[in-house]
Structure 1
Amino acid sequence: MIFDVLWRRPLLQRPAPTATASTPDGVFVHERSTRLVCLDPADGVARWDVPVGTWPRAVVADGPQCWVISQDRNELRCLDVRSGEVHWSVDLPRFTAHIVVAGDRVLVGGWRGYTALRAFDRWTGALLWAERHRAATVLPAAVGERVLVGEPGGSSVRLLDVRDGTEVCRWSLPEPLVGGDGQWQAFVAAGPDRFLLRCGARTLWQVNPGAGTAGEFFRHDRDLAATGISTVGALVWARERHRGAVALDLTPREFRGRVSVGPDVVGQVVPAAAGHVLATGRPGMLLLVDDAGRPRERRLVDQQIGGLRPLMPGVLLVAGKGTLLAVDAATPTA
């Protein structure tokens, strides 16, 4: 049946979005207060288990490498995804957070404006450049060998060349940039060279870094939630404040439908074989809807859900209450 739990991993702590990463080859999650484990996506069995310190500010996996910044160690550590072996580590200023991989560079810093942005060679850990001054940014987004950055509540978005930190382009925003604390993406990819972001209370803005253009994508007649832009195929989902979510066509930019599930929708909308999946926080319910937002299936999978993301084709990774779950999203109900 759809939404059957395939495996469940007790973490003995609350799963944090910044302390969890996944690729088709592994799930990397912080658990038991000080450990980072790599789980097999198919069965949840631990492949390796290493000490990394308390409450990572960021965990990111890309290709053969996994990077982690631990709160109590003030260092960036690069691990081998197959063995957990440390390839290299570098000291960082206190309160460094955000990790973004762009080409052969790893960019860190800018979280809450505590530290300057700095870039390291992904293979050796050599420092390549660092900005002189501290600057706050939402979680940056990689665009090839460039990155999008923007200050939460700010009036502009910048495109930086990650090879040397120079500014390539800057766009003014009509309303303040809505950004989080690194727990979610402020820049959401909507194609190979197109990103969506929130401005003000009701506006979705788009930036096309390759073309150097930006403009309004959609303005809603109701307030939108701070989090929750998702792109699923040819649709964009945007969470409404205290209501549910709306579906929009990417091209043309038209309203498609609405799903009303109350104020407790969490995380992103993710694809399933027969539609789209939303989650509610309490109780931890998964809801399958069609392109117009019409409910098709629903199932309680945990006491509480903190977020979900695609793991493998037909499988979702769900952050529960002190657990991590893999859930079937492909098998139709008999």
Structure 2
Amino acid sequence: MVTELWERVLHQRGAYSQLALAGERVVVHERRTRLVCLGAADGTPLWDVPAVAWPRALVVVGRRVLVLPQDRDVLACLALTTGELLWQAEVEHWTGQVAVADGVVLVGGWRGYTPLAAFDLTDGRPLWRSGSRAATERPVAWAGGFLLGHGARAWLVDPRDGRESASWELPRPLTGADGRPVFTVVDADRCAVGCDGGAVVVLRADGRRPELLMTHEGPLLGEAPLLVDGVLWLREVRAAGAGYVVVDPLDGTRRWRAGLGTPAAQGVVGTADGTVLASEGGRLFRLDAGGGVAGRERLGGRIAAVHDLGAGRLLTVTRNSLRAWRL
């Protein structure tokens, strides 16, 4: 049986609230104009600073919080411990997406609106900028660089100078995620990619031809697979019986299908004896090691997403709040 630990009312739609987890801290945008850091144990506010309405990106790396506001053309870097502004750098209007690799912050490429631009994580010093507008799905750090992709092509760039170091032609176009992740780093050698038509493709760091890992017979949501407990979880579209399809990242073998009988919320959390996921309708599902439903509990309200808080704790994003639970 789950026990509620705390709740934080956001005073705005939970599904639209940018959120980042960092150990025992939860950083969240709330009340339309505030950025707040909460203690994971009890939800106590550790700092509360003015922010902007609906930031385009919120990323925590180490002891720094990176924010891309919508109403100011800057990239802001805050201290995770205090919320203090450490530096800010000018960016072009409509800049979206943030990734960090090797001490470099990369922004831009969202919808092809802006060039890519790179800054030093320590002090915000500009490092390089692409010569023209660039279109890419959300980049990730992998294989010593930034992995980018658009259409049926993926490529790797050096963090320090932006030069392309490798590229792959995909068997199918990338799924259109509009700023959501499409790349899932499996390990140092492999990266799983969500593609059109319910397909998952695997890239290899050694540059070999991409492998079509699997194709699901039904439609999947346009997002990256989730890597939890060594397997890939693929969320099905909102339809009766929708849930998650679970496949082996090595050979694409379908392990099981977690059908919930109702649309699944975003996120899967690993536990000591299985996994936990939730339905959008507010029900928690416990799965055993073989994917069978071992238990169901009603949490109440609607759930947009679940996150792992560590130490046997779960964070749910509801209609207008964050709620933490002991599993």
Which TM class, normalised by the smaller chain length?
over 0.9
- Offset, 1:117: 0.8
Using the TM superposition, give the Cα deviation of residue 211 of structure 1 relative to its aligned residue in structure 2, in angstroms. Answer: 5.2
**Cα 1:144–1:158 shift into 2, 3 Å:** closer
**Secondary structure in 1 matching 2:14:** coil
Which is worse superposed, 221-230 or 79-88? 221-230
Please state if 1:204 is matched with 2:200: yes
Call closer, same or farther: CA 1:263–1:136 in 2, change over 3 Å: farther
> What are the ranges of 5 or more consecutive residues in structure 2 without an aligned counterpart?
none
1:72-83 to structure 2, matched below 5 A, reads: 72-83=71-82
Percent sequence identity is: 37
Q: Match for residue 87 of structure 1? A: 86
Residues 95-134 of structure 1: matches in 2 within 5 Å? 95-134=94-133
Is the 1:98–1:139 Cα contact (8 Å) retained in structure 2? yes
* Structure-1 residue corresponding to 2:187: 191
- Cα-Cα RMSD: 1.8
Counterpart AA for 1:190: V
Local SS of the residue matching 2:171: coil
> Given residue 316 of structure 2, which amino acid in structure 1 is its aligned partner?
V
**Superposed displacement of residue 42, structure 1:** 0.9
Equivalence for 2:247? 248
Which position in structure 2 is the counterpart of 1:52?
Answer: 51
- Contact (CA 8 Å) 1:161, 1:167: kept in 2 or not? yes
Distance 1:274 1:313 in 2: 14
Would you say 1:259 and 2:258 are equivalent positions? yes
Alignment of structure 1 residues 1-334 onto 2, 5 Å:
1=1, 3-16=2-15, 19-143=18-142, 145-151=144-150, 154-182=151-179, 184-210=180-206, 212-227=208-223, 229-241=225-237, 242=239, 243-262=242-261, 264-281=263-280, 283-329=281-327
Runs of 4+ in 1 over 6 A off after TM superposition: none
Provide the C-alpha distance between the structure 2 equivalents of 1:226 and 1:124, rounded to a whole number of angstroms: 35
- Measure, in 1, the Cα distance between the counterparts of 2:286 and 2:187: 24
Read off the aligned partner of 2:46 and give its amino acid letter.
Answer: R
SS in 2 for 1:197: strand
Are the aligned partners of 1:110 and 1:116 in contact in 2 as well (CA < 8 Å)? yes
Aligned positions, number: 324
> Match of 1:306, as an amino acid?
A
Indicate the residue corresponding to 1:332 in structure 2.
Answer: none
Matched residue type, 2:12: Q
C-alpha contact 1:223 1:240 (8 A) present in aligned 2: yes
Report if aligned partners of 2:143, 2:189 keep a CA contact under 8 Å in 1. Answer: no
TM-score (norm 1): 0.91
